[in-house]
Amino acid sequence: MQTLTLQTPDDWHVHFRDTALLRETVPATARVFRRAIAMPNLVPPVSTTAAASAYKQRLLDARPAGSAFEPLMTLYLTPTLDATEIARAAAAGIRAVKLYPAGATTHSEAGVGDLDSIYPTLEALQAHGMLLLVHGEVVDPAVDVFDREREFIDRHLRRIAERMPDLKIVLEHISTREAVEFVTEAGANVAATITPQHLLLNRNDLLVGGLKPHNYCLPVLKRRTHQEALRAAAVSGSRKFFLGTDSAPHEQMAKESSCGCAGCYSAPTALELYAQIFDELGALDRLEGFASHHGADFYGLPRNTGHVTLVRQPWSIPERIALPGGGTLVPLLAGMQLDWQIQTIGSERL
C-alpha cells in the first residue's frame, strides 16, 4: 500500500496549554484533526463553565485562518465542583469532566484527594450525559510508580464503573496490560485512549543508556509486555479503544532540567506516528476505526465528513521546533525517520 486515505480523525486528549504556546499547539493539532478534547489543567484550573468558555475562545482565536477545527471543552473535577455547575456546563455544550487524583501529574494539585467523596458529582455527570475522563493512577507513596495505574483500577475504577453503569468513562492514556483487560471486560460505558508514546516506547527507551527526558510521561512507560498489550488493543478493531495523543508540550529547558517535566509533544506528527505503528503491525486497514470512528461514536458525536490522505514517503521528525516569542520544543522521537507523511487534506470523504 502506497497511499492511505482516512476519514478525518479526532484527538480525544490534548494539552494545548495557554497564552503564547497556543500559536504553536493549536495549529499543530488542527492541521489534521477536526476536533480535540482540550485538557483543563491550566493554572488556575478550568473548573467553571465561564472559564471553559473563555479558554475555548482563546483556542479558537489561535486557529489557522480558514480552519474548521473545533476544541471540545472539559471541566477540571475539583473537590468543590457541584451539581449546579455540572448542569450549567452541560447546557453550554461542555462534553466532559476530567478527574485528576491530587498530585498525580502536571498541574494536578487542585485535583481530588478523597475519591469516595465525589460520588454525588459522578451522579450529576451521569444524569446530564457528560463523560468522566480519568487520569487513572493512585498517588499513594507506598505504591511503586510502575504499579499505580493497576492499583487505581483495583481500588477505585472498578467500583465507579459498576456503581455508575450509565456514566461513560474514558480511562485515558492507558499504559498497562491490566488496563487493557479492565476496559475490555468492563461494560459498554467504559473506553480508553492510547497514546503514540505508549505504543512506540517502553521503559528501556526511558532508562537504558542514560535518562531520556523527552520520553518521560505520566503514566510512566512500562515493560515491553505492557507495550505489546497496548499495541494489540489498538489494532484489535475493538470500539473501546481510540486515539488520544496526550500531546503535552514543555519547553526544552524545562524537560532537560532537574524537574524533568512529564509530557511528550506529539501533535506535529501524531497521525504519522500512529500510521507507522499500525503499518508495523500489519493493520493499516484498522487505523481509520481507531483514529476516526471509535472516539466519535463513544462520545455520541457525528463522524467527520472530510478526509486525510497519507503517502508512503520517508521523512524525518524535526529535531526542534522554534516557539513564537522564543524558546524551543523537542517533539516526540525527534530525528526519527517515519515512512508515512500527509499528502492531502480534503473537506469531503473520498
Tens of pLDDT along 13-50? 999 999 999 999 999 999 999 999 999 999 999 999 99
Cα distance between residue 200 and residue 205, in whole Å: 9
The count of domains in the chain is 1
Residue 136, helix vs strand vs coil: coil
Domain that holds residue 331: 3-346
Active site residue 246: yes
Contact 329, 24 (CB under 8 A): yes
Residues annotated within the binding site are 13, 15-17, 41, 98, 135, 173, 218, 246, 250, 262
Kindly report the CATH number assigned to the domain that includes residue 248. Answer: 3.20.20.140
pLDDT of 177-228, one tens digit each? Answer: 999 999 999 999 999 999 999 999 999 999 999 999 999 999 999 999 999 9
pLDDT for residue 32: 97
**Which residue in 10, 11, 246, 279 is the catalytic one?**
246
The cell for 294 is 471509535
Q: Which residues contact 310 (CB under 8 A, 6 or more apart)?
A: 3, 4, 5, 6, 271, 272, 275, 340, 341, 342, 343
What is the average per-residue pLDDT within 129-144?
95
Neighbours of 93 (CB within 10 A): 12
Most distant pair of Cα atoms in the chain: their distance: 54
Contact 342, 308 (CB under 8 A): yes
Res 137 pLDDT > 50: yes
Residues annotated within the binding site for Zn(2+) are 13, 15, 98, 135, 173, 246
Residue with cell 476505526: 289
Contact 109, 103 (CB under 8 A): yes
Q: Which residues contact 306 (CB under 8 A, 6 or more apart)?
A: 7, 8, 34, 345, 346, 347, 348, 349
pLDDT for residue 348: 55
pLDDT for residue 283: 98
Residues annotated within the binding site for substrate are 15-17, 41, 135, 218, 250, 262
Q: What is the pTM of this model?
A: 0.96
Element (H, E) at 99: strand 96-99
Res 350 pLDDT > 50: no
- Backbone CA torsion sign across 320, 323, 326, 330: negative
Contact 287, 243 (CB under 8 A): no
